[in-house]
Amino acid sequence: MAGVEIHKSQKQDTFEGVDFLDLDDLLTEEHQLIRSSIRDFVKKEISPYIEDWAQKSHFPEEIVKKFGEVGAFGPQIPEEYGGGGLDYISYGLIMQEIERGDSGMRSTASVQGSLVMYPIYKFGSEEQRKKYLPKLASGEMLGCFGLTEPDHGSNPSGMVTNFKDMGDHYLLNGTKMWISNSPKADIAVVWAKNEEGRIHGLIVERGMEGFSTPETHNKWSLRASCTGELVFDNVKVPKENLLPGKSGLGAPLMCLDSARFGIAWGVIGAAMDCYESARKYAAERIQFGKPIAGFQLTQKKLSEMLTEITKAQLLAWKVGKMMNEGKAKTVHISMAKRNNVEMALNIAREARQIHGGMGITGEYPIMRHMMNLESVITYEGTHDIHLLILGNEITGISAFK
């Protein structure tokens, strides 16, 4: 939205963290320094503007370069390709701090790192890595990930987007929907079936004839993030843009594992923001002659919030440790994503109650987080789908067939 006038909030972001069990003992000094630098970035570059961005449904394009400068894009990608060369706990902490600012902002960063840079690094050729990864890491380029289709969300194997071998190029046709970053993306990592029905990844560049990215309007959620479609009408894709390293549905699902891990950490940040806002408001709001923080039901809400945040922190940290050791499986990540998003959404709803009528206004972050989390609980594997992934692991019987 060019020409949108954005007003800076006069409210100071004074967040200092939520750590009831001294979980910082589990983090290295480097982890804490990384978290601190991203927290400072959020306080300066996101918190003063996010309510206005969300109210005006404005995606701040300038944030892309700033994310690149602070190392938020692909922190787990090796340094030789422009990434941070960091471990998965560092990646999780970065997502946590950004999502405390806003889920839409974290979506922008996690799509770039886990769904665009990761597949190019993991499945791409050396030429593709050198061509795209440094520009994506710096924020010079913005990317998106095309898997979901209008009729195929939870069942991506049913996709109809396809490409044909035309000798010197591929011809790509189809439509993808609910794609974060798409309206502003320079490239799209697109998953499509070849003539044998095998799923492959292709890198599609803006400007290729027949490729368009219509924007999705009138969202009540993730309003500071840009969302759209990917439409392919006989798009000629050079053969060197095929990701050669892996084919089949397992390839995009590996990318989603990385992104879901980031979500499991990110939503802790949203929950922390809601909790801290509720705690402070309860101490200031006077009813019946005393702060509402002195009433039993308010204390119950705050106590349960803190307990659930702490449990989510432990779960995310343990899965992060397993990721670093190469031991984490899809089912572990599904448990963390599902549990932690539900936790954050419940906390947002309880925090709204504590804020009373003020909780629905832009004076506080609660309603914005709540609306955002309604998307987060659905995207990258719905709440119920993750339940059934765990159910399959427990019983050995798939509920999808």
**What positions carry a catalytic annotation?**
380
Pairing outcome for strands 169-180 and 227-238: antiparallel
How far lies 252's CA from each of 129, 136, 178, 192, 245, in Å? 17, 19, 16, 11, 12
Buried b (16+ CB within 10 A) or exposed e, 172-197: bbbbbbbbbbbbbbbbbbbbbbbeee
Here the tokens at position 304 are 């349960």
What are the φ and ψ backbone dihedral angles of 71, each rounded to 5 degrees? 85, 25
What are the φ and ψ backbone dihedral angles of 211, each rounded to 5 degrees? -105, 120
What is the full DSSP assignment across 2-55? TT---PPP-S--------TT-GGGGS-HHHHHHHHHHHHHHHHHTTTTHHHHHH
Name 172's Cβ contacts closer than 8 Å, sequence gap at least 6.
161, 162, 163, 190, 192, 202, 204, 232, 234, 235, 236, 237
The HSE-up count of residue 369 (CA atoms within 13 Å, CB side) is 35
Tracing tokens 């009528």 back to the chain, one arrives at 357
